């Protein structure tokens, strides 16, 4: 439910995003360093849907044609990569096409958006390993790998099943979620990033630390992907197992937060001194907590909603660039991969997207695409 605080925050975002349109232009942004300038990657990169997604959400919330005009052809550009040489299209086509083709069709009824979304869903479904009941992550020799991030991508399959009335997409999404629930979520609600299976037999081999500090650590953004992803899966299926899993992960996430409610990049570091935060993890988790709050009985809502509010207010007050008009991002303090020393302590476009998504939800946004 909208409040004056979040209604005013949406207006502040409108001013910010208006400026970002001119600053970002035709770039495909992913990371901005201390100078506040977003980089420009090829649009086959996994984050290419998030800037368009911000524009579509803002168009849906404000009705401003400038947002729609700026984003209209992005799904057409992404579709071109299905016939171009690329190794970048993989399990993350959900991130890329949900926030471009799918939301475009959902809001406007555009038939090309519908076709492109189904095309992406077919691509994602083709990565399903029948023996192991998982969607393969990445490319090259990673034949038996699955990752926690893909819990967000399977919303594309639930959407495709609904619009085509073909249950096969939904079956794949549920099987992948069940496998992730079994091997990717620990008893305490923390999660593994990378799961390795024998690609022939489907037998589970081991879990890797991936972007966490160690195999048994707790990468905060991976925890946020899982929290949000299982909440989405419950919304799409009504299967209480997925809600219980989302709640267990949420309890771990909330209990592990520092006093200022914005997580470090990993919840299980030997020392947090001089370690960077990850504002993107807070934004993703806040949006997911709002999903859980919508799904639970009234007596439970405050736990999840209040957790989301605390993180969003911390991001708004201490990590947003309201007083830096030259800065091309909304949030600072994001960390992509600390172990890989890649995109550390700057701005991440997906952090910006999920912050906008959460604020939109708190202002009554109905077109929930994830």
**Given the residues 44, 60, 92, 352, the one annotated as active site:** 92
For residues 122 and 114, the answer to whether their CB atoms sit within 8 Å is no
What is the b/e burial string over 325-338, where b = at least 16 CB atoms within 10 angstroms of the residue's CB? eebbbbbbbbbbeb
For residues 136 and 150, the answer to whether their CB atoms sit within 8 Å is no
Query: What are the two backbone dihedrals, phi and then psi, of residue 7, each rounded to the nearest 5 degrees?
Result: -65, -40
Grouping H, G, I as helix, E, B as strand and the rest as coil, residue 88 is coil
Q: Which two tokens stand for residue 306?
A: 């209040």
Q: Is 202 exposed, middle or buried (0-12, 13-18, 19+ CB in 10 A)?
A: middle
**Given the residues 44, 60, 75, 149, the one annotated as active site:** 149
Q: Is 149 a residue of the active site?
A: yes
Q: How far apart are CA 290 and CA 364, in angstroms?
A: 12
Q: How far apart are CA 93 and CA 152, in angstroms?
A: 10
Q: Is 92 a residue of the active site?
A: yes
Active site residues: 92, 149
């Amino acid at each position: 439910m909208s409040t004056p605080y979040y209604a005013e925050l949406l207006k502040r975002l409108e001013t910010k995003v208006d400026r970002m349109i001119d600053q970002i232009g035709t770039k495909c942004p992913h990371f901005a360093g201390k100078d506040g300038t977003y980089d420009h990657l090829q649009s086959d990169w996994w984050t290419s849907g998030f800037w368009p997604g911000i524009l579509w959400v803002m168009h849906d919330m404000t009705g401003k044609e400038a947002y729609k005009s700026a984003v209209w052809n992005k799904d057409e550009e992404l579709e071109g990569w299905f016939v171009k040489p690329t190794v970048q299209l993989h399990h993350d086509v959900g991130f890329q096409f949900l926030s471009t083709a799918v939301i475009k069709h959902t809001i406007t009824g555009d038939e090309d958006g519908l076709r492109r979304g189904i095309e992406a869903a077919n691509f994602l479904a083709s990565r399903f390993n029948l023996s192991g009941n998982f969607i393969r992550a990445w490319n090259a020799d990673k034949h038996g790998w699955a990752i926690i991030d893909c819990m967000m991508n399977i919303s594309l399959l639930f959407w495709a099943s609904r619009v085509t009335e073909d249950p096969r997409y939904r079956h794949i999404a549920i099987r992948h979620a069940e496998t992730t629930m079994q091997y990717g979520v620990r008893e305490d609600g923390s999660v593994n990033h990378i799961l390795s299976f024998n690609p022939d037999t489907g037998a589970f081999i081991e879990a890797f630390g991936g972007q966490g500090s160690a195999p048994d650590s707790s990468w905060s953004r991976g925890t946020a992907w899982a929290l949000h992803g299982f909440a989405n899966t419950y919304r799409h299926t009504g299967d209480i197992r997925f809600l219980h899993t989302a709640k267990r992960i949420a309890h771990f996430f909330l209990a592990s937060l520092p006093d200022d409610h914005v997580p470090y990049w990993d919840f299980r570091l030997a020392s947090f001194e001089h370690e960077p935060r990850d504002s993107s993890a807070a934004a993703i988790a806040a949006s997911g907590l709002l999903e859980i709050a919508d799904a639970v009985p009234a007596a439970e809502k405050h736990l999840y909603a209040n957790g989301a509010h605390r993180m969003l207010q911390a991001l708004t007050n201490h990590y947003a660039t309201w007083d830096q008009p030259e800065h091309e991002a909304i949030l600072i303090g994001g960390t992509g991969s600390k172990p890989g020393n890649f995109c550390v302590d700057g701005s991440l476009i997906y952090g910006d997207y999920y912050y906008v998504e959460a604020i939109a939800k708190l202002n009554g946004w109905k077109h929930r695409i994830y």
